[in-house]
Amino acid sequence: MQNTGKKTIFTTVSIDKETSGLVDKICKRYSLKKSEVVKLAFRYIDKASINPAEAPESVKSELAKINKRQDDIIRFIRNYEEKELNPMIRATNSIAVRFDGIVKTLETLVLSQLEKNQEKHNVVLQKISDTLTQHADVINEQGKQIGSLRQLQKKDNTKLLKLINLYSDLAACGVMDGKRKVDVNK
């Protein structure tokens, strides 16, 4: 034992050789001093409320007590299960079934609404597509007309270039009088 600053008074206890051998055996097994074994044994007896004068019962009787306690516990659990848990499980199951029904109803409703909205969107998108197709047709038609006008313009420009070229050739030959008077007052 450790001396913690207080003066410890030791007393002696006499035991027979058989008990001394038992104490020595426990000391070796758990690496304890004899005084520690005695101290711990008495603490255990005190905490467990064991009367050392009473003879320990047989293993069979102790096992019978344990089995009786187990049976009592099992009966309590079964009783609790019947009276408390099973009604709670049934109520929970009932709530779950109703919840599933509500969820399925809501799912059907949401899906039908989504389907209706999808149909409305498809109609709107089809109208937009038709309008855009009409506009594209008008633009394509106008593009063709512009192309035709461009071809006419190109032909007219070619004729004009030929006419200018002819006038230039005639002027170079002297057929055309290059000295025209320009009236400034006009």
Q: Enter the DSSP assignment of 84.
A: I
Look up the pTM and report it.
0.35
Per-residue pLDDT tens digits of the chain, which is 186 residues long? 455 567 878 788 888 999 899 999 999 999 999 989 989 988 988 887 778 787 666 767 778 888 899 999 999 999 998 898 889 999 999 999 999 999 999 999 999 999 999 999 999 999 999 999 999 999 999 999 999 999 999 999 999 999 898 888 888 887 766 555 445 555
Distance CA 95, CA 85 (A): 15
Taking the C-alpha atoms of residue 51 and residue 45, their distance in angstroms, rounded to an integer, is 8
Q: How far apart are CA 93 and CA 101, in angstroms?
A: 12
Those residues whose C-beta lies under 8 Å from the C-beta of residue 50, and which sit 6 or more positions away, are 44
CA distance 129 to 136: 10
Q: Hey, how many other C-beta atoms are within 10 angstroms of the C-beta on 37?
A: 18
**What pLDDT sits at residue 177?**
60
Nearest 5°: phi and psi at 14? -95, 135
Return the domain boundaries, the chain. 14-56, 58-174
Strands (E), 49-127: none
- Contact of 13 with 38, CB cutoff 8 Å: yes
Chain-centre distance for alpha carbon 120: 33
Which pair of tokens denotes residue 30? 């758990």
Q: What is the pLDDT of residue 186?
A: 53
Please name the residue ranges forming H helices in the chain.
Answer: 17-30, 34-47, 59-80, 86-173
CA–CA separation, 91 and 85 (whole Å): 10
